[in-house]
Amino acid sequence: METIQKKAEEGITSELALVQAAKKGDLEAFSELVRRYDRNVFRIAQHITHNEEDAQDVVQDAFLKAYQNLEQFQGNSKFYTWLVRIAVNEALMRLRKRRNDRTVSLDEDVETEDGSIPREVADWSPNPEQLYGTSELGDILKKTIQGLSPGFRTVFVLRDVEGLSTEETAEMLNLSVPAVKSRLLRARLQLRERLTRYFKNKKGGDGQQ
Amino acid sequence: MKCTEFLQELTDYLDGKISENLKIELDEHLHWCKECHVVMNTTKKTIEIYRDNELYELPESLRSRLHDAIMTKCRGSKAGKKPTS
């Protein structure tokens, strides 16, 4: 009967099929959705909270909330988009709690011009990968992105690390497309500015630019 | 074109989302403005370095622990329904 058509559509509809099955209480289907996206949710949560314990809680709570609210998922957007939206909100909530600060939001620091005008104009040569060991480089990258405001680093992570489109990012964060673009530009420029300070200094006083 | 105007378009330029005409203008600016060329180049490297270096990998042991915890919580819940208590 439907089997042939079903098979043909499997590639495209499998995520939706899993969601539909999970809505009916098929835990195995939901378990597959968890496996598909847990790494991404963990990474995003770590970037926002900068705390592994919080990130673990975010992963658990985001998937549980998604499961409990599956009925509300209409299928107009991708399940992943919907899931990340839940995860970002959970992560911001954790960050607020830890900082004991209710003002943490995606709108924080949007007016700042810090780093938006390049001051460090030195090329990176040779590439940082050749200058640093993996773990040392990882520490620099973490430290640098942690210096961005939550709003900036969330946009940067979704767009440039997770590789989502501007439109998807806007939908996930409930921001307009121009707002995402403007935050992305400033996030990229601020990171560039700060990394240049590292990668330039590494060469020390050898006079090279 | 001024450097500030170039910077405004930098994100779309790097994402390849600009019109052919604008691209010609920006390329021309890059051709003579060494500073913008360096900024463009290092911004591109910034994106690449974050994309290529996985900073927060989820270790398999933690992953399976989290997975078990999630599924246990889901089992105690009901799909699509918030707990009433």
Structural domain range at position A151: 128-201
Domain boundary among A59, A79, A99: A99
The answer to pTM > 0.90 is: no
A22 in a structural domain: yes
> Which of the two residues, A3 and B35, has the higher pLDDT score?
B35
| Model confidence at B81: pLDDT above 70 | no
Interface of A with B in 84-143 (CB under 8 A): 116-118, 121-124, 127-129, 134, 137-138, 141-142
pLDDT tens sequence across A90-147: 999 999 888 776 556 666 555 555 556 788 888 887 788 888 888 899 999 999 999 9
Q: What is the pLDDT of residue A130?
A: 82
Taking all residues of chain B, what is their mean pLDDT, rounded to a whole number? 90
Measuring CA to CA, which residue among A159, A155, A141 is closest to residue A48?
Answer: A155
- Chain B: residue nearest A122 by CA? B38
pLDDT per residue over A45-98, tens digit each? 999 999 999 999 999 999 999 999 999 998 878 899 999 999 999 999 999 888
pLDDT at A5 over 60: no
Same-domain pairing of A90 and A150: no
pLDDT of residue A207: 40
Same domain, A14 and A85: yes
Q: Is residue A12 part of a domain?
A: yes
Q: Does residue B83 have a cis bond before it (omega within 30 degrees)?
A: no
> Residue A10: how many CA atoms within 13 Å on its side-chain side?
6
Per-residue pLDDT, averaged over A166-178, amounts to 93
Is B82 an 8 Å CB contact of chain A? yes
Is residue A7 pLDDT above 80, yes or no?
no
pLDDT at B72: 94
Predicted local confidence at residue B84, as pLDDT: 46
- Predicted confidence band at B79 (pLDDT cuts at 50, 70, 90)? low
A51 within a domain of the structure (yes/no):
yes
Mean pLDDT (whole number) for A17-45: 94
Instruction: Judge if A68 and A14 occupy the same domain.
Output: yes
Are both A69 and A7 inside the same structural domain?
Answer: yes
- Summarize pLDDT for B55-76 with one digit per residue, the tens: 999 999 999 999 999 999 999 8
Q: Residue A204: pLDDT band by 50, 70, 90 thresholds? A: very low
Q: How far apart are the first and last CA of chain B?
A: 63
Q: pLDDT at residue B80 above 60?
A: no
Cα torsion at A121, A127, A131, A132 (round to 10°)? 100
Contact B56, A55 (CB under 8 A): yes
- Nearest CB among B50, B67, B79 relative to A67 is that of B79
DSSP B5-56: HHHHHHHHHHTT-S-HHHHHHHHHHHHH-HHHHHHHHHHHHHHHHHHHS--S
Average pLDDT, chain A: 84
Contact call for B39 and A118, based on CB within 8 A:
yes
CATH at residue A169: 1.10.10.10
User: A33: part of which helix (H) or strand (E)?
Assistant: helix A27-49
Identify the band that residue A209 occupies on the pLDDT scale cut at 50, 70 and 90.
very low
A206 — pLDDT class (breaks 50, 70, 90): very low
Task: Check whether residue A143 and residue A194 sit in a common domain.
Answer: yes
Instruction: Say how many domains are in chain A.
Output: 2
Nearest CA in chain A to B10: A185
Domain boundaries, chain B: 1-44
Q: What CATH number is given to the structural domain containing A14? A: 1.10.1740.10
A151 and A69 in a single domain? The answer is no
Same domain (yes/no): A93, A14: yes
